[in-house]
A = this chain, B = another copy of it.
Amino acid sequence: MPRTGMMAIRKDALVNATISEIGRAGSLDVTVGQIAKVAGVSSALAHHYFGSKDDLLLAAMRAILREFGAAARAELAKATTPMQRLDAIARASFGGKNFSPDVVSAWLTFYVMAQRDAEAARLLRVYQHRLVSNLTHGLRPLTSEPQRIAETAAALIDGLYIRHALAEVGPPDGTAAAARVMDYLNVALA
C-alpha cells in the first residue's frame, strides 16, 4: 500500500459520499461532516482536498455528468441506425447509476445550486446542450426539423426525471421512462 497517492482515493471517496449523502438527504443541506464521515475521513480532510464545500459539491456534480456522458457514449457506440442512436440516448438518461434515487435527488439539488452558483449553472447548461446536440444529431437523418424535436425530447427527458424524483415508492423505472421518450419520438417522426 503506497503511502502516497491517497489524494485520488480520498477525493473519489468524498465525491461518492457527497452524491450518496445528497441523495439520502434529498437536498444540499448536507454537512461536510456527514459527508466526511461516510467517506471515512475527517471533515478537515475534505476541506484540505477540495478547499470548500461548494467545490466539493461541484466535484460531485462533475462526477455525475461524467458518468452520464460515459454511459451515453457507451450506448451510442453500440448503435448503428439513427433510431438506435436515439434509443441509446434515452436509455442512457434513465439507465444504470444515472437513474438511481441518489442521483435523481442530487440532480434536483444541482438545479437549485445553479440558481446561485455560476459554475453549477454552466455545468448544467453544458449537459443540457449536449443532450439536445446528441438528439439533434440522431434526428437529422429522420426529419426536416431535428432541432425542434430534439428540444422537446430533451425537455421530456428532464420532466420524466423530475417526476420520478417524487415517485411514492420503489426505485425509478428507467425502462418505462425511456420507452415513453421513444413513444414521443415515434409519433413526432410519423
Chain A residues within CB distance 8 Å of chain B: 25-29, 105, 108-109, 111-116, 121, 124-125, 128, 148, 151-152, 154-163, 165-166, 168, 180, 183-184, 187-188, 190
Given the interface pairs A111-B166, A166-B111, A183-B152, the reply to whether A116 lies near B27 with Cβ below 8 Å is yes
Smallest beta-carbon distance A29→chain B, Å: 8
Cβ-defined contact, A168 with B111, below 8 A: no
Given the interface pairs A187-B187, A190-B190, the reply to whether A114 lies near B166 with Cβ below 8 Å is yes
Given contact pairs A151-B180, A187-B187, a sample of 8 additional A-B residue pairs in the complex whose CB atoms are under 8 Å apart: A27-B116, A29-B116, A108-B115, A109-B112, A112-B112, A125-B168, A154-B163, A156-B156
- In whole angstroms, what is the CA distance A159 to B160 when docked? 7
